[in-house]
Amino acid sequence: MESEADNDSLYESAQKNLLVFGSSFMPDVIVKTSGIYLYTASGKKIIDWTSGQMSCLVGHGHPEIVQTLAEHAASLDHLYSGMLSPPVIKLAEKLTSVLPDGLDKAVFLSTGGESNECAIRLAKLYTGNFEIVGLGASWHGVTSGANGAQYHAGRKGYGPSMPGMLMLPSPDSYRSIFRHKDGSYDWKTELDYGWSLVDKASIGSLAAVIMEPILSSGGIITLPKGYMAAMKEHCRKRNMLLIVDEAQTGLGRCGDLFAINYEGVVPDILTLSKTLGNGLPLSAVVTSNEIAKVAEERNFMFYTTHANDPLPASVGLKVLEIVLRDNLVARSKAMGEKLQAGLHHLMERYGCIGDVRGRGLMAGVEIVSNRETKAPAIEFGKKLSAKMMSLGLSASISARTTFSGCIRIAPPLTITDEELAMGLAIFEEALRSTEGSMPLY
C-alpha cells in the first residue's frame, strides 16, 4: 500500500512538471481503477460517480474490454488512414444498424471535439453556408470550430473565434425567465424569440445548429419534451442541418440507447465520443446517405492520423456489444429512477439543493444559497464536492460563473444497488457535515 508521503511526492512532481489546462489538479493521485472505484496513492478507495470524464460506461477495467485491447494491440493496432480493417467495418455496420434510417454512414475519430469539428465542417460543405448556431450553456470541444459554437466556457483570451457563430438561449427550465402565467416554463416562446434574434444577426448563410440532448457541462440541463423536434423544424424552415452531440448521452446513459430516441428525432448528423470508447479516445460522426454522397462529390476532407483506427474501433464494437447483450439501457433507466428518488430524498432534507434533474444514470443537483431566489452557492458547492471526495465519492461540480453550480452525476451503467446506496449515503454524510447545507429537519 502506498503512503500519504508517496501521494505528496507525486503531487509535488505534478505541480512542477505538468501544465494546468483548465482547472487545478485534485490533490489525490489515482494509481488504480477497477469497476466503479478509484484508488489513490495514499490508499483511499473512492466511488467514481462520474465514470472518469463521463466516459467509462461499463466501468473501469472491464475484463472483456481489457481482453479486446490486448488482442488488437498485439495483432491489429494502427493503420494508414486510407486502409480498412474488420473492426472499423463491423463497428460501422453495427452502429448504423441500431440507429434510425437517415443515419447511414460513419467515420471514426479520436475525441468529442474532433467529431464535432468534423460535423461542422461537413455541414458547411454540404450547405455551402458557414454560420453555426449553438446553445448558451453548450460544450462541444476546444478546437476552433467546435469551440466557436460553444458558449459555456473557453471563449475568452484567445482572440476572434470562427466567424459566423451565433447563440440561442439554453432551455434551462429551472432558471429561465420565460414563464407561462402559472409559472411553468415557456420554452417554445423562448426558442422562437431566440431564433428571431439569430435571424436578425445572420448574414444569410445559416448552415447548422449543434446541440446536446442534455447540456452536461452547463449544468445537466435536460431538453423539454418537444424541444428537439421544434429545433429540427426551425432548421428545416431555414434549410439548415441539425447536428446532435451525444458525447455523454449515447449508448444508454439516459435510459434510451441514444438520447434522440427519447423524442424520435433524426438529426442530419450525429456525433458520439466518450461513452463509445469507454474512456478510450474514440468518437464517431454519423450522417445520411444523401449528405455522404454530396460530401464525397465535393471532395470532403477530414483526414487525420487516427481516422478509422482499428484498435479503438475494436473497443467501440465491444462496448456496443456489452450494452446491448447485458440490457444496460433498461438497467440505466431503472437505476436512474432509484438515483432520482435518492436525490429527491436528499432535497427534502437539505435546503441547499435547489433542483434535481436528469434522465437515466445522468443526474444533476443544483446547489443554491436560497431556494426562493435561486441564488447560486458556488463556493459552498466546491466545499461540498471536496467533502464528498474526502469521504470516498467522486462527483464533480460545474462551478464556472457562466451559470450557477451543479453536482454532476454519471456512474457506470454497471453500478449495483449496493454501490448506488453507498454513494447516496456518502452524499448525505457530506451534506450533514458541511456547514451551509441548511438542514430542513
Please tell me which residue in 124, 274, 331, 383 is annotated as part of the active site.
Answer: 274
Q: What are the beta bridge partners of residue 366? A: 355, 406
What is the Rg, in whole angstroms, of the alpha carbon atoms belonging to the chain? 22
Please tell me which residue in 48, 117, 172, 245 is annotated as part of the active site.
Answer: 245
Beta carbons of 174 and 97 less than 8 angstroms apart: no
Residue 274 known to be catalytic: yes
Please tell me which residue in 49, 117, 139, 359 is annotated as part of the active site.
Answer: 139
Q: Which pairs count as long-range contacts for 67-75, CB under 8 Å and 24+ apart, including other chains? A: 68/314, 68/315, 68/318, 69/280, 69/311, 69/314, 69/315, 71/314, 72/310, 72/311, 72/314, 72/315, 73/311
Q: Which pairs count as long-range contacts for 91-97, CB under 8 Å and 24+ apart, including other chains? A: 91/313, 91/314, 91/316, 91/317, 91/320, 94/317, 94/320, 94/321, 95/284, 95/286, 95/316, 95/320, 96/286
Q: What are phi and psi of 189, to 5 degrees?
A: -65, -40
Residue whose cell numbers read 433542483: 355
Specify the 3-state DSSP secondary structure of 202.
Answer: coil
Residue 76 is placed in which grid cell?
A: 491489429
Residue 129 is placed in which grid cell?
A: 453556408
Beta carbons of 409 and 396 less than 8 angstroms apart: no
Q: What are the beta bridge partners of residue 287? A: 105, 269
Please tell me which residue in 248, 268, 331, 357 is annotated as part of the active site.
Answer: 248
Residue 408 known to be catalytic: yes
**Angle ∠(399,140,374) on CA atoms, nearest 5:** 30
Angle between helices 310-325 and 328-349 (to 10 degrees): 80
Query: With the C-alpha atoms ordered 412, 417, 422, 427, is the resulting torsion angle positive or negative?
Result: positive
How many distinct helices (H) and strands (E) make up the chain?
Answer: 13, 18
3-state helix, strand, coil in the chain (%, to 5): 40, 20, 40
Please tell me which residue in 28, 131, 212, 256 is annotated as part of the active site.
Answer: 212
Query: Longest C-alpha distance within the chain, in Å?
Result: 67
Residue 49 known to be catalytic: no
Residue 212 known to be catalytic: yes
Residue 302 is placed in which grid cell?
A: 477530414
**Active site (catalytic) residues:** 139, 212, 245, 248, 274, 408
